[in-house]
Chain A
């Protein structure tokens, strides 16, 4: 297995120096400006609650499922939200299958804090019967291609899939109203989740030289940079989470600059996500309408027989 470590991808000294020298003149190797994001494309699968996000060369899919479970004893009226991140060995030759590495755990925690602790998803609306049945929503994020900046891409994918997820409608029944009946989607339209705001994660890269600051690093730049910071902000200007784990020390004014930059980027990314979800919902509604012509066809034939 030691042979596998030898296969891990390493950037050459020449490449690293080239990237650093170019950054001194504010040029990035893919032609972007230091505060420019790569092209974001959000696509959805056939089912509700599955999304695929491409941020430049980084590719992530996110799938949301829900199950009825018993709530925690100290929180009987709240549903649950859990996030599972899978760093698939597909994405990078250095990702090993099995136990998640440091990066995977950190990514999961950042997205978890951004979504759950900022109360972006309303968990009280997930309660069906207090103390007995609540919905546990599970988000599975699979990283397919590591082109750098996995946190931001995974966050956008998680948000997009949460917005298009529909949970089955259920009602209370039985003799004493203690039984929960889950209605299948053909009988009653499934309901969307209540999402209050969209926390967007924006990642910054820091270098030895104080004047170099960039946003949305590619995996080449990630191998060169000396520090990183992920800020999770929403379009209202609220800071949901900031993560800066070690690395290069950075003066205060740079942090403030980053936060201001993050808020403006969050607004444009939020709009992009909402537009994509809007388009998916219209298409979904159209697909449902298309079913009706077959039922009107049957009616016409019956009238002809009469």
Chain B
């Protein structure tokens, strides 16, 4: 089934990706991630001493602050903060620096669809730039189900609004390019078949959802490679002083 997308992409094609890290001088780690016209800036400060009142002091705590492009902070921003916090908590090793807080600040520069996945990718890169210990990286993608039943990846804002349902999916990054024999497996399945986060909007059938997961997983391999290439390039460039 062929689908007519405004920018001429096929249903499984992602928008052009661009990312750069270490762009801010005061922040301990920073990264900018753009997918097409959606651009997000992430900065990391940490670990800082002390945890907030209701947090467990035996572990490190992650604090997320989401700054929208314009307007006041509302419930949607708080929801994004919570999703991002739980996603990052599952990939960071929280027992290394107990009783500390790592702040992740997200600034939306432009929103053209797939905002939360871009933010998760940017936050991941910023955490690497800051040197926060992590188990593995997370790659995030948005899949949506059109009214015709077709599943397409990485929608623009216009496409998102016309969809029947869409899902933001976060997978652990695959290590195939580094370890050809594959990564650790959990109960017989390789680790990158797991899902870290899944947020859906709208109504979709169970089959559609599983198809979304398959497409998302395939795309996440490409994203992992892109992330790895970028990080390797940054590390061969001059190291950050001070």
Residues of A at the B interface (CB closer than 8 Å) are 1-4, 6-7, 45-47, 50, 57, 59, 61, 63, 65, 86, 88-93, 97, 138, 140, 142, 144-147
Contact = CB atoms under 8 A, between A and B. Distances in A.
B43 interface: yes
Interface of B: 24-27, 30, 37, 39, 41, 43, 45, 48-50, 52, 65, 67, 69-71, 103, 105, 107, 109-110
B27 A90 contact: yes
Contact of A88 (B37, B39, B67, B70): B67
B43 A3 contact: no
A57 B25 contact: yes
24 contacts: A1-B50, A1-B52, A3-B50, A4-B49, A4-B50, A45-B109, A47-B110, A50-B109, A57-B25, A57-B26, A61-B109, A63-B70, A88-B105, A89-B103, A90-B30, A90-B107, A91-B24, A93-B26, A93-B48, A97-B65, A140-B70, A144-B41, A144-B107, A147-B26
Contacts of A90: 24, 27, 30, 41, 43, 67, 105, 107
Contacts, number: 69
A65 B110 CA distance: 13
B24 A144 contact: yes
Contacts of B70: 63, 65, 138, 140
A7 B110 contact: no
A88 B42 CA distance: 11
A260 to B, nearest CB: 32
Contacts of B27: 90, 145
B20 to A, nearest CB: 13
Most buried by A among B24, B26, B30, B37: B26
B45 A6 contact: no
Contacts of B69: 63, 140
A61 B105 CA distance: 15
Contacts of B39: 45
B74 to A, nearest CB: 14
A97 B72 CA distance: 12
Given A3-B49, A45-B109, A146 B103 contact: no
Given A7-B48, A93-B48, A142 B26 contact: no
Contacts of A59: 24
B37 A142 contact: no
A4 B110 contact: no
A55 B167 CA distance: 40
> What secondary structure prevails in chain B residues at the interface with A?
strand
Contact of B26 (A2, A61, A91, A138): A91
Contacts of B49: 3-4, 6-7
A145 B107 contact: no
A105 B15 CA distance: 40
A65 B111 CA distance: 14
B62 to A, nearest CB: 14
A47 B39 CA distance: 12
A1 B50 CA distance: 7
A139 B100 CA distance: 36
A59 B25 CA distance: 9
Nearest to B43: A90
Most buried by A among B30, B48, B52, B67: B67
Contacts of B110: 45-47, 50
A90 B65 CA distance: 9
A6 B48 CA distance: 9
A1 B26 CA distance: 21
A93 to B, nearest CB: 5
A3 B52 CA distance: 10
A89 B48 CA distance: 13
Contacts of A45: 39, 109-110
Contact of B24 (A46, A142, A145): A145
B37 A89 contact: no
A28 B1 CA distance: 66
Nearest to B99: A3
Contacts of A86: 67
B105 A89 contact: yes
Contacts of A89: 45, 65, 103, 105
Contacts of A140: 69-71
Contacts of A144: 24, 41, 43, 107
